[in-house]
Amino acid sequence: MSIPLLAQTLAKLGEVATNLGTVLTNLAAVQTTANAIRGDITSARDNINTATNAARDNVKTHVTTAVNGLSGKAPVKSIQSGTISITGVGLTGTATISTVVPANCLVEVSMFGVLSSGVVDSTLSGHTLTANSLTITRAQNSSGTRFFGWKITELNP
């Protein structure tokens, strides 16, 4: 190999070495950026985990408090049911019931039974619940007997 050719080859190798050095420097910068991004992602993940765990613990505390507040009480304290018949031209009928707290009660009333012609000639216009009685008022003042079914569900406070 001639000296000029050897000099050209060495010069080219010098360029390659310089370019390789630049590539390695750039690669180091990319690695530094990747490490910073990885750190940011790890920090964000940790923050999300902390927030999620705090929310879970908060829900768990509220549910535990609510369940412990029930203290073994069923939501329904009592259920009573029966019928009230209103005969003749009367507009009200009353049933005596076991003692309840009216504010804690749900009252369901329905009319059943119709005239022989199939016509319903009396409808419910209202009811009044006291601690020991349920009074039903019908809307029409019709002769004959009309039957109203009722159910009182008393809830635990």
β-partners of residue 76 are: 155
Q: What is the pLDDT of residues 103-156, one digit of tens each?
A: 999 999 987 765 555 555 567 778 999 999 999 988 766 666 778 899 999 998
Please say whether the beta carbons of 116 and 128 come within 8 A: no
Q: Fill in the amino acid letter for 27.
A: L
Q: What is the pLDDT of residues 51-93, one digit of tens each?
A: 888 888 888 888 887 777 666 677 899 999 999 988 766 688 9
Please say whether the beta carbons of 73 and 93 come within 8 A: no
Q: Cα 73 from chain centroid?
A: 21
Separation CA 124–CA 129 (nearest Å): 15
User: Is the pTM above the cut of 0.75?
Assistant: no
